[in-house]
Amino acid sequence: MSLSRNEIEEALKEWNLAWENHDLEGVMTLFHEEVIFENWTGARVRGKKALQKAWQPWFADHGNFRFIEEETFIDEKEQKALYRWLLEWPSLESGHEGRPEKRRGVDVIHFKNGKIIEKLTYSKTTIEIDGKRQSLHL
């Protein structure tokens, strides 16, 4: 089952709304059972249940986060999307804990049978805290 461009757009709108509402169950509805997720550090999780388990503490501990869609490119034929985002949240950076942080990144999203089968996340290595750019402490 392939999604039309409009269906991909609508699915991503609903998905973004679930992120906005910090609704982990809602976020998970768009993922394929065999999803592969790779985060910006290169850590990889396989399977929807494993991903939900991995994200549960993040949703519980960092409930004050917000992803803002900056740009989305959709390739209907290939069933892929590129989602450029801005994350606003309380910083976890040493010496800046809890202060407002902005971080930019991109998700490369592949669909299979109407669900996200692969989500690869890339993030800039600089962040903004108190209006100043800083390097991530990796």
pLDDT the model gives residue 63: 66
Domain residue ranges in the chain: 5-135
pLDDT in tens, 70-83: 999 999 999 999 99
Mean pLDDT of 77-106: 93
Residue 66 CB partners (closer than 8 Å, separation 6+): 20, 87, 88, 89
pLDDT at 138 over 80: no
pLDDT single digits (tens) 38-62: 998 899 999 999 999 999 998 887 7
What confidence score (pLDDT) does residue 61 get?
79
Residue 130, sorted as left (phi over 0), alpha (psi -120 to 50) or beta, turns out to be left
CATH topology of domain 5-135: Nuclear Transport Factor 2; Chain: A, (3.10.450)
Model pLDDT, residue 92: 82
